[in-house]
Amino acid sequence: MKNNSLTEKEEAKNLYQYGMRYYTGEGVQIDFSRAVELFHQAAAYDFAPAQTSLGMCYEKGRGVEQNYSKAAMWFKKAAEQGIQYAKMEFQRLIDLGYEPEKEINETEEVSVEQSVEEAEKCFNVGLDLYSEKTSEVNYKEAIKYFKRAAEFGHARAQLYLGNCYFDGKGISVNYSEALFWFRKSASQGEADAQYKLGMCYENGKGVPQDFHEAAKYYRLATEQGEPFATTNLALLYEKGKGVKKDIKEAERLYRIAAIDDGLAQYYLGDIYYQGKNGVKDWCEAAKWFYKAVDSGVDIASYFLGVIYQNGSNGIARNMSESIKWYLEAAKKGYSLAQFKLGEIYETGNGVSCNLTEAAQWYLKAAKNGYIHAQFQMGYMYANGQGVSMNGTEALRWYNKAAENGSIEALFKIALMYDLGTGIKSNKYEAVRWYKKASDKGHARAMYFLGFNYMVGEGVEINSYNRLHGISLIKKAAQLGCKEAQSDLLSKGIRW
């Protein structure tokens, strides 16, 4: 494996910063003992700030038993590297009569070879338990072996232990702890750990979100051939996050990752589908979407359906193929494909018109939270298309669409209350919903709201409301509402 570890300075800095989080309680509960452990690891790289912090911990008895001689020893080490605070504290302790403790090199009970052998043995036992996935108990047992191997410095064990903390397998989710073990593994050149560190930085898990750091770790893993890291690095280049936006570089990286990663195949297809690289080529897009489908990327099926439905850029229109691919995606629960099938059956596009079938597909998409399908179910229940007319159900689905941001659904609810369509008429509720839609710029809602203000329906009748109503109708006319324009013309009012 290509050695791609971080420099000792970078590793020491990472360990020190991680220790400071536990020392100060930044994003985690204060834990002086954990801080001291991390400071020791950073100090092993001769990192002066960590040595200074250790001096402070021993001096104040934080996380360790108070020991002025050990404090003097660590302050001396940091002072020799030019840390002024350490020089002052070291001299102060000397003046108080505390000599720095001499370091003692403890002899390990087992040889390095035995340690490596023990670590590998523990890791393999843990891996067997982890891979069985039969119960939560197995994960808990696996963690014990991973931890033992990780403490011996086994890079893969450190990675797996990090994964357990990250995914909450056998232990509560703890992103900070996952990050600690990913760092240790990554510092030994473990590509998967470098990839996971990139994910932590990209998504702000255990650390503040930092796309630049994410790109750095993805690049380290990419140089070792980790395909998922390569895909994620390509995405950063495509979006210009943490790196300068570069579609050509994104495409190059996707091609490398596409050998092993279905998502990279899909993203390559998307580049050609949308012409992001300046070349809109649906034949090339379809080629990569087919590969992505074979790799299990369900969304690619949907885009094959779109390509065959529209038939352009070198692909002939073929509704049979389109429906086939929409069905593939829809069966996997992809709401956009379910909605498209609803449209196809509603309009009879390539099939016989079947409103019942259309309603069934719209309902699937609506239940999956797709806003346009929720609106469409409201419409179908309101008009008895493919389902029995039911004002209560229409209102329920319009409400769901409105909650998800559909302005048109706000207007439809207002109309139902205004006209008493399928529900009891309520002018006050109508005005309330017209206002919601009007406030979001819906021209027809603005017109109807203005009309209600003018005639005093759902509002008090007075001169102010009449003037306000005319103002709303004028604004609706300016926004292009034909009904408002016609109404104003009939009254001889200009807008």
Give CA–CA dist 193/200, Å, rounded: 10
In-domain check, residue 212:
no
DSSP state of 384: T
Give CA–CA dist 430/410, Å, rounded: 10
Residues 94-104 have a mean pLDDT of 79
* pLDDT in the model for residue 44: 84
* pLDDT in the model for residue 103: 62
Give CA–CA dist 151/149, Å, rounded: 5
Predicted confidence (pLDDT) per residue in 226-278, tens digit: 999 999 999 999 999 999 999 999 999 999 999 999 999 999 999 999 999 99
* Number of domains the chain contains: 1
Q: What is the mean pLDDT of the chain?
A: 91
In-domain check, residue 164:
no
Predicted confidence (pLDDT) per residue in 80-93, tens digit: 999 999 999 999 99
**Model confidence at 109: pLDDT above 60:** no
Task: Kindly indicate the confidence band of residue 136, based on its pLDDT and cuts at 50, 70 and 90.
Answer: low
Contact in structure between 301 and 293 (CB atoms under 8 Å)? yes
Give CA–CA dist 303/394, Å, rounded: 30
Angle at 295 between CA 290 and CA 301, to 5 degrees: 45
Residues 278-302 have a mean pLDDT of 95
* pLDDT in the model for residue 1: 35
In-domain check, residue 76:
yes
Q: What percent of the chain has pLDDT over 90?
A: 75
* pLDDT in the model for residue 314: 80
CATH at residue 23: 1.25.40.10
* pLDDT in the model for residue 107: 38
The reply to whether the predicted model has a pTM over 0.85 is no
In-domain check, residue 64:
yes
Q: Which residue has the tokens 């790799």?
A: 295
Q: Which residue has the tokens 């008090």?
A: 460
Q: What three-state secondary structure class fits 228?
A: helix
* Residue in 483, 420, 406, 482 with CA at minimum distance from that of residue 457: 420
* pLDDT in the model for residue 106: 41
Backbone phi, psi, residue 315, to 5°: -115, 125
In-domain check, residue 62:
yes
Residues 321-329 have a mean pLDDT of 96
Q: What three-state secondary structure class fits 373?
A: helix
Residues 488-495 have a mean pLDDT of 88
DSSP string across 425-443: --HHHHHHHHHHHHHTT-H
Predicted confidence (pLDDT) per residue in 433-472, tens digit: 999 999 999 999 999 999 999 999 999 989 999 999 999 9
Contact in structure between 354 and 341 (CB atoms under 8 Å)? no
The domain containing residue 57 runs over which residues?
8-95
* pLDDT in the model for residue 42: 86
In-domain check, residue 173:
no
Handedness of CA 48, 50, 53, 57 (dihedral sign): negative
Predicted confidence (pLDDT) per residue in 157-198, tens digit: 999 999 999 999 989 999 989 999 999 999 999 999 999 999
DSSP state of 174: -
* pLDDT in the model for residue 134: 53
In-domain check, residue 60:
yes
Give CA–CA dist 2/276, Å, rounded: 34
Q: How far is CA 120 from CA 5, 148, 192, 323, in A?
A: 20, 10, 18, 52
DSSP state of 168: T
In-domain check, residue 205:
no
Task: Kindly indicate the confidence band of residue 491, based on its pLDDT and cuts at 50, 70 and 90.
Answer: confident
Contact in structure between 312 and 295 (CB atoms under 8 Å)? no
